[in-house]
Amino acid sequence: MVLTTKITKLLNIKHPIIQGGMHHVGFAGLAAAVANAGGLGLVTALTQPSPELLAQEIDKAQMKLRPDAEGQVGVNLTILPMFAEVDYEGYKDVILSSGVKVVETAGRPPGEFVSAFQNAGIKVIHKCVTTRHAKSAVKKFGVDAISLDGFECAGHPGEEDIGNFVLQAQGGRELDVPFVCSGGVGTGKQLAAVLMMGASGVNMGTRFMATVEAPIHDNIKNALVAGDSSSTTLVMRSVRNTERVYKNETALKVQEIEREFPGDFSKIHEYVKGENYRKSFQETGDIESSVWSAGEVMGLIDDVPTCEELITTMVKEAEEALKSGPSYITEE
């Protein structure tokens, strides 16, 4: 059996599983491993310091694709508020010339980027934390699909705190384009459940961090395995840029500063800057010295498989759960 959904058809992938774009994690090796396993693997654009380096990273990913790969390598492009400080035009041009067929956009509204990508035959998935934003992205910009991010997710869950049990059901009622569930997902039974709510697949970040191919220090992976659903916390709530992160001494320090200086980003900047967790992920493996994104799915992570093992296991479990569904229906 194969789980065929609107998202597998739209993106031309075998399995309805997407590896989310993650800063300092979404490199060529991980993206290609997911694509080789039949999913959508994403290279994170802004992890690369320049458009030229992004072009090289995409090339690396495409060179790692097996001839029989049934997935795709795409690119995540997060459009940050500091728009003028990033060479988005350069990143856009690289993506357009790279041959990729899928782009995940996040952050501020993607605007003119959507039409440029679609004119080149690229499908656009936009990340949203409410169905209101999702419907706006479809109506105003014509995005092809939506990643609905629940409050459980790692990174930035927005400011409305909507969990996926409600959010995905809302998507099933309100969205006309394919959408995938993002946040808190790590098992095949969850995949089956969100399909029943109307989603067409799942987007996973933290779960893919705990894989063999994830290019991060083993200490980080071990922390994900050892942690549970209470091992995350929220920072930057006072500046309305909430981020779900691993609960460590640095995150707790940031919360303490926020209580003392609410709304003053300058007081916490040195603790939350990306270079800190880049060092933790790729150099030191120190799980305490930086603020790094992690989701509540930690409570469901108990091993570090290959991407192929993870995807194969999830799909098999989802198929078995879906096949058992009729057993709940009886004639009275």
53 with 103, same domain? yes
127 with 59, same domain? yes
- Model-level pTM? 0.96
190 with 283, same domain? no
Encoded tokens for 256: 């303490």
pLDDT tens digits for 12-22? Answer: 999 999 999 99
Tally of domains within the chain: 2
Name beta bridge partners: 103. 75, 124
Whole-number average pLDDT of the chain: 95
Q: How far apart are CA 193 and CA 195, in angstroms?
A: 5
Strands 102-107 and 123-128: parallel
93 with 181, same domain? yes
Which amino acid type is present at position 237?
R
Q: How far apart are CA 28 and CA 213, in angstroms?
A: 10
pLDDT tens digits for 89-124? Answer: 999 999 999 999 999 999 888 888 999 999 999 999
In a domain, 75, yes or no: yes
In a domain, 300, yes or no: no
199 with 63, same domain? yes
118 with 250, same domain? no
Given pLDDT bands bounded at 50, 70 and 90, which one contains residue 84?
low
In a domain, 223, yes or no: no
| Predicted pLDDT at 83 | 47
> 37 and 307 in contact (C-beta within 8 Å)?
yes
Which H or E run includes 251? Answer: helix 249-260
pLDDT tens digits for 164-177? Answer: 999 999 999 999 99
Encoded tokens for 112: 């003119």
212 with 256, same domain? no
Overall size of the chain counted in residues? 332
144 with 269, same domain? no
87 with 181, same domain? yes
To which residue do tokens 């096949």 refer? 323
Of the candidates 184, 240, 200, 211, the residue with the CA atom closest to the CA atom of residue 37: 211
Q: Give me the domain span that covers residue 86.
A: 6-216+306-323
pLDDT tens digits for 293-314? Answer: 999 999 999 999 999 999 999 9
In a domain, 226, yes or no: no
| Predicted pLDDT at 80 | 81
In a domain, 80, yes or no: yes
pLDDT tens digits for 27-83? Answer: 999 999 999 999 999 999 999 999 999 999 999 999 999 999 999 999 999 998 654
Q: Please enumerate in sequence order all residues whose Cβ is within 8 A of that of 42, keeping only pairs 6 or more positions apart, or say none.
A: 18, 19, 20, 21, 26, 31, 73, 74, 75, 76, 102, 104
Whether pLDDT at 129 is above 90 = yes
89 with 200, same domain? yes
Q: Please enumerate in sequence order all residues whose Cβ is within 8 A of that of 123, keeping only pairs 6 or more positions apart, or say none.
A: 10, 11, 101, 102, 103, 117, 144, 145
pLDDT tens digits for 235-288? Answer: 999 999 999 999 999 999 999 999 999 999 999 999 999 899 999 999 999 999
What CATH number does residue 37 fall under? 3.20.20.70
In a domain, 227, yes or no: no
| Predicted pLDDT at 36 | 98
In a domain, 199, yes or no: yes
Whether pLDDT at 327 is above 90 = no
Encoded tokens for 294: 């992690």
Q: What is the average pLDDT across 219-231?
A: 97
202 with 261, same domain? no
Q: How far apart are CA 123 and CA 10, in angstroms?
A: 8
In a domain, 145, yes or no: yes
173 with 59, same domain? yes
